[in-house]
Amino acid sequence: MKLSMPRYDQAPVLVVGDVMLDRYWHGGTSRISPEAPVPVVKVEQIEDRPGGAANVALNIAALGAPAVLVGVTGEDEAADSLTDSLGAAGVRASFQRIATQPTIVKLRVMSRHQQLLRMDFEEPFNTDAAALAVDVERLLDGVKVLVLSDYGKGALKNHQALVQLARAKGIPVLADPKGKDFSIYRGASLITPNLNEFETIVGHCADEAELVAKGAKLMAELELGALLVTRGEHGMTLLRPEHAPLHLPARAREVFDVTGAGDTVISTLAASIAAGEELPQAVALANLAAGIVVGKLGTAAISAPELRRAVQREQGSERGVLGLEQLQVAIEDARAHGEKIVFTNGCFDILHAGHVTYLEQARAQGDRLVLAVNDDGSVSRLKGPGRPINSVDRRMAVLAGLGAVDWVVSFSEDTPENLLRALKPDVLVKGGDYGIDQVVGAEIVRAYGGEVRVLGLVENSSTTAIVEKIRNK
């Protein structure tokens, strides 16, 4: 399946659901309490993170998508902390504040990255469902997807009213369901239960065939557009009426903490669908995102650069031979990680020691080296009949194997000027006894603030000399 990074900046999403504050007390433990056989934690750091529906909105914003959040809180310090954190992340939050009830807080006591204790401060909210629906209807006109983030804490009491409001406007509804009654999500475009939640509704599934059969029956009963069952270490299964099941393996390299993984899944799904991705591609992106977030401690969001890098790994574009569009994505990601892009070009017909030395010197000018290679037609025009000796695909394959080279791209023109305009490298490098003003493309790079550097000529190394030597023998 071909994946690409969506335009999340054009994908506004509205999240409605149970908002909570995840609070962490961090500290060291060096002794056991004399009062009871429990460790004593000397609290050294207090950290607040948005949780529940607020974490879903935060994940959407972290991907670069406009996020709007509707939820219910108390009139207290925890609600203020949530408002500040979400506002700083660019989430537009609209809270129904109830003065007589506390904001839901989940407090975790941590020591050396281990959770020692969790304490929940919560009461089911007495939500004004009609007022919440008014807020949602007002905000729907500015979004492309509605997410119902249901933790069963009382913020959502009118699921069907919200589903119908969105459907009337042609807006897809995604629901992360809870409880033993999924009929409240009837008509949703997609629901995303984990395997335990799914089996609570349909019964135990002995194998994938039974899961698929029971899932199809549930979709028909509830008039669902699709069903995504998240299955932990077994990945995900996407079911759609009249489509073959799509089973995706888990992508986690190392599982550190599964807290909030479901939030990451539905947020990436929602933002990707809002950005115009087809459902299978959106699910694949969500699967990659989940694999990243379970490697983090506690409730966490993944950023667009993190997901972009995972997409590149999936598509094999971390290094090697790339097309222009792939290369532009790779460079964008590298820049997001603060890396300096170096560019050089040439024919590289017969690779020799001089080339290798030069490319190592070029790579030392920054963090990533782009090597642009003349295609066969341009080499022939520049070097004359009988050249190139090696076709462009073979030349690029050899060059891509060098440790100094990150990405190899070909160009058909006699100069790389169009590539320079498209890629805008930070440094343009050329070897030989050129003056800087003689380097092709120098004026283009210097015009946008880039650097041009000329490296020394490697003596006694020449493709032309090698060719002549072979011919003479």
Determine if residue 306 is labeled as part of a ligand binding site: no
Alpha carbon distance 258, 294 (integer Å): 5
Task: Please identify which of the residues 22, 135, 263, 426 carries the catalytic annotation.
Answer: 263
Q: Which two tokens stand for residue 182?
A: 């999924």
The one-letter amino acid at 238:
L
CB 64 within 8 A of CB 14: no
Question: Is 150 among the residues known to form the active site?
Answer: no
Beta bridge partners of 48: 23
Which DSSP letter does residue 81 get?
A: H
Residue with tokens 């699921």: 159
Determine if residue 390 is labeled as part of a ligand binding site: no
Report how far apart the first and last C-alpha atoms of the chain are (Å, whole number). Answer: 51
**Between helices 324-336 and 304-315, what is the axis angle to 10°?**
140
Cα-based distances in Å from 402 to 180, 328, 395: 57, 21, 12
Q: Which of 168, 166, 191, 160 shows the shortest CA–CA distance to 178?
A: 191
Determine if residue 345 is labeled as part of a ligand binding site: no
Cα-based distances in Å from 32 to 42, 109, 465: 11, 15, 77
CB 167 within 8 A of CB 187: yes
HEC string of 160-226? Answer: HHHHHHHHHCCCCEEEECCCCCHHHHCCCCEECCEHHHHHHHHCCCCCHHHHHHHHHHHHHHHCCCC
CB 88 within 8 A of CB 27: no
Q: Which of 246, 245, 282, 247 shows the shortest CA–CA distance to 267?
A: 282
Q: Which two tokens stand for residue 208?
A: 């994938």
Determine if residue 196 is labeled as part of a ligand binding site: yes
Residues at the annotated binding site? 194-197
Residues at the annotated binding site for ATP? 194-197
What are the residue numbers of the active site? 263
